[in-house]
Amino acid sequence: MRSIFLGNRDTVGQVYRGPEIDALESEFGLRNTVYTKDDLNARDFRDVDFIFSTWGMPSLSAKEISGCFPALKAVFYAAGTVQAFARPFLECGVRVFSAWAANAVPVSEYAVAQIILANKGFFRAFGLKSPGEHRERAGISHEYPGNYGCKVGILGAGMIGKLVIRKLKSDYNLQVLVFDPFLPEEKAKELGAVKTDLHTVFRECTTISNHLANNEQTKGMLNKSCFSLMKDHATFINTGRGAQVVNADLEEALRARPFAAAVLDVTYPEPLPEGHPFYRMENVILTPHMAGSQACETERMARYMVEECRLLHAGRPVRYEVTADMLKTMA
């Protein structure tokens, strides 16, 4: 049996550490060398059974996969979305596994933290620079609902969206409205949420958090028809994908509502170009795509993939396999 690391040397080194590397070496024939796409034609990978990777996994064509990896059984991706590379592997009959469930944990934690702060009006209250600003912002603080009984909107109920809903319902007394065309009504009820349409979420909810699937159908979905419905003191949070937002429409809505806010951990393009209006707007908070796993959190992703390989090799039921049908709704 032979396994290899394929991808970016820096990110592989950040994610796969001592215990995981030891397990892969002893159980699955891994040599602790990270290969890149440039190595494919210079080395012999015909006997490789398993590929382990993370952020920076190269995109390969079906021809490259079948030519370089004729014995390949599975790819284990210790990160979230596999949209950028998975399809050709699946077409070649190679199984693909992702640590999306591990990466969903910190994203959901980040989103919940922003939601709770947004409901208190934090993003339009912090950074006071004068007594006058203190008085002004204290005066409008009652316009924000707090975290008892108010409506929160969740866009998308995949792995991350479901975790966000569960955390909100278990720890806070909040009403959760969810938009997700793929979510059955009964599943929404099990989560304690009310399934509704996209415009109702924007019209009724004070805080809206985006976790929609990343596909052609959702590109540009969050546009003027949604943002024009936002409440005057609403907050839009995006830890999903930047391409789902029409930036000009969000900018227009926020300029018309100076006490509304947007918290954007993802944008399109990313980063935004020099001089983009969002950099100058006081009611836009930009963070550098930091909601996902970082530092110690990345170890969880590697551990999930090592354990998944053990299950596959032992012929036991696996937990985090990605199929072609799943790619239609994954972020």
What is the reported pLDDT for 215? 85
Does residue 107 carry a pLDDT above 90? yes
Q: Residue 330 pLDDT > 80, yes or no? A: no
Instruction: Answer for the pair 213, 326: CB distance below 8 angstroms, yes or no.
Output: no
Please report, to the nearest 10 degrees, the dihedral formed by the alpha carbons of residues 190, 191, 194, 195 taken in order.
-90
Burial of 88: CB neighbours in 10 Å, binned 0-12, 13-18, 19+: middle
What are 66-88's pLDDT values in tens digits?
Answer: 999 999 999 999 999 999 999 99
pLDDT value, residue 127: 83
Domain 104-286 has CATH 3.40.50.2300: no
3.10.310.30, 3.10.20.30, 3.40.50.720, 3.30.365.10: which CATH number matches 3-102+295-328?
Answer: 3.40.50.720
Delimit the domains of the chain by residue range. 3-102+295-328, 104-286
Q: What is the pLDDT of residue 49?
A: 98
> Which pLDDT band, with edges at 50, 70 and 90, does 243 fall under?
very high
120 Cβ partners below 8 Å, 6+ apart? Answer: 144, 146, 147
Same fold, 3-102+295-328 and 104-286: yes
Binned at pLDDT 50, 70 and 90, residue 316 comes out as very high
Mean pLDDT, residues 2-12:
97
Q: Burial letters for 252-265: b for 16+ Cβ neighbours within 10 Å, e otherwise?
A: ebbeebebbbbbbb
Task: Return the pLDDT at 141.
Answer: 80
For the segment 234-242, the average pLDDT, to the nearest whole number, is: 97
How does residue 139 score in pLDDT terms, banded at 50, 70 and 90? confident
Calculate the average pLDDT of the chain.
96
240 token code pair = 């999903």
The whole-number pLDDT of residue 140 equals 80
pTM over 0.85: yes
